[in-house]
Amino acid sequence: MYIIELTAKAEDDIMWFNRRERNIIVDGIKNNLTYQPTVVTMNRKPCRDDGTKIADWELRIGVYRVYYNVEEQVSVVAIERIGEKPNNTVFFRGQQEE
């Protein structure tokens, strides 16, 4: 079982969402990242290294995106950012990241 930790940016990101959205995101994180967070699935994949990489992994929960890194030695999943991707652009706290 992996321990899930949020960075300061991720905490700010999740607090931007309303309570209903936060519940969806938190449930998705618990269900998908507590066990085997580095196994590729339909909703979980490694991030491409295109120069704007936020983290090593991306989790899709509907229109929400959770970007995270995994420390295998200590079984920790570090959530780096949480955003919303309604189309082809990811928004963090309602704004497109440059």
| Residue-wise pLDDT tens digits, 12-69 | 999 999 999 999 999 999 999 999 999 999 999 999 876 668 999 999 999 999 999 9
Across the range 80-96, mean pLDDT stands at 92
The fold for domain 3-93 equals: YaeB-like fold (3.30.2310)
Taking alpha carbons only, the member of 94, 92, 87, 88 closest to residue 10 is 92
Tell me which of 14 and 96 has the higher pLDDT: 14
Q: Outline where DSSP puts E strands in the chain.
A: 3-6, 44-46, 57-61, 64-71, 76-84, 91-92, 95-96
**What are the residue boundaries of the structural domains of the chain, listed by start?**
3-93
Tell me the β-bridge partners of 84: 64, 91
Q: Which secondary structure element, helix H or strand E, spans residue 9, and what is its range? A: helix 8-16
- From CA 80, how far away is CA 40, in angstroms rounded? 18
